[in-house]
Amino acid sequence: MIIRARTVVTMDRAPIENGAVAVSRNRIVDVGAFNDVKARNVGTHLDLGEKVLLPGLINAHCHLDYTCLCGKIPPQDSFTDWIRAINAEKSELSPKDYLASINDGFQEAKRFGTTAIANLTAFPELISQVQPPIRTCWFAELIDIRAPERVTELVDSAIDALRSSMACADISAPSKRSHSRRIAALQTPRWGLAPHAMFTASKDLFLRCEKIAQKNDILLTTHLAESPEEMEMFRDASGPLYEFIKSIGRPMNDCGNETSLGLFIGALGDRALPEWIVVHLNELTESDFDLLERSDPKFQIVHCPRSHNYFGHRPFAFERLRSLGFNVCLGTDSLASNQTLSLFDEMRHFQKNFPNISPNEILRLATVNPARALRFENALGQIRPGFRADLIALPSSGSTDVFEQIIACDAPVSWSMVNGQVYRDW
């Protein structure tokens, strides 16, 4: 198939006016000026007209478990109060509610042009019952605060659930109908483990996950240095989060000396850093920046602009982290602290906070950079021959910079292609 559009934004070269992309099965095979692509390839033509064609967006951090909590938790006085509030809401939900929530979340993400997502679930046993309509890296979110003696059991059962759902996907591919084949292709064989945070996951749990990641091609992610209360807990052994977590029974002997970043790096050692996708990093001291400067290689960073705003965190140190060589991506986090799963909304919010960052670079935060963080840098996030055919098309106003037009898009995406399959008119 040859897909023509008014402008093709590849993310690896200048936008192409009157451009085209040739797709064979689920891969991009050619991209360039329409006349050139037409001359080099055979196949049916699809003219999208006055549209901008670009790579599908990639959400680097999300919890679709909590899509049903949208609007249920107003901003609280403290991060600790928010944890109490979400725990109260979660106690009312059944596995059936979580399944509906995950499926609704996938549909919303897709409606707003997301074609790949890093999704953390606290219920890896539900994955085999979900048919993701977009490319999905599943992470099992792990918390052992109430049963630290059962780390091995917790991790092993999560891995069994992840592996069996991935294996099902692979096995169903050749034999069943095309719908199953499509689902199978979207359950990426790459999955990951997500010890929730330094205050809810033990050092043993972090080390166990790290060990497994070193033996297998899997990803690791965690929430780190999110709130002032987390900083207060680890550095000063005081504050509302410290008291709350202590009341649950967590040993607090690692508190009172180091920041959470200092503990994280110290516990795991530099060798584990490239595997980690670290979410938030809102609270950093000067000594943290020294650690970050010295850490080589660097871990991956996810910033969630509107969740950040919901909690009223201090400004995110984007420019400083970027200048230290970190790969920064955008995520939506969950609808328990956000209003939509649209990465366009995230890019616009980011632009408001960082007006000096070019629209081209902002779009990279939702395409090229997350592809790299998820180790799909040779498959996703750009329109290049050999890459997967994950594409979206947006209306072209033709009046401003094409990257500005993309970031300004606030309507559902009416045309998308995921793994070579076309979807229209949401």
Among the listed ranges 254-262, 285-293, 325-333, 395-403, the one in contact with Zn ion (CB under 5 A) is 325-333
Nearer to Zn ion, 268 or 279 (CB): 279
Which of 258, 333, 346, 390 forms a contact with Zn ion (CB under 5 A)? 333
Which CB sits closer to Zn ion, 258 or 333? Answer: 333
Measured CA distances, 58 to 30, 381, 390 (Å): 22, 7, 10
What string marks each residue from 405 to 424 as x (binds Zn ion by CB under 5 A) or -? --------------------
Q: Tell me, by CB under 5 A, how many residues bind Zn ion.
A: 1
CA–CA separation, 279 vs 405, rounded Å? Answer: 28
Closer CB to Zn ion, residue 334 or residue 405?
334
**Which pair of tokens denotes residue 284?**
């950093």
Q: How far is residue 373's CA from residue 301's CA, in Å, rounded to a whole number?
A: 8
Nearer to Zn ion, 121 or 405 (CB): 121
**Residue 327 Cβ vs Zn ion, minimum distance, rounded to whole Å:** 18
Taking the least distance from each CB to Zn ion, the nearer of 302 and 402 is 302
Q: Which is nearer to Zn ion, 138 or 415 (CB)?
A: 138
Cβ 62 to Zn ion shortest distance, Å? 8
Query: Taking the complex as a whole, how short is the minimal distance between the CB of residue 50 and Zn ion, in angstroms?
Result: 38
The least distance separating Zn ion from the CB of residue 197, rounded to whole angstroms, comes to 9
Query: In the complex, what is the shortest distance from the CB of residue 307 to Zn ion, in angstroms, rounded to a whole number?
Result: 7
Residue 205 Cβ vs Zn ion, minimum distance, rounded to whole Å: 17
Question: Which residue sits closest to Zn ion, CB atoms considered?
Answer: 333
**Regarding beta strands 219-224 and 57-62, do their DSSP bridges make them parallel or antiparallel, or are they unpaired?**
unpaired
- Give the interface with Zn ion as residue ranges (CB under 5 A): 333
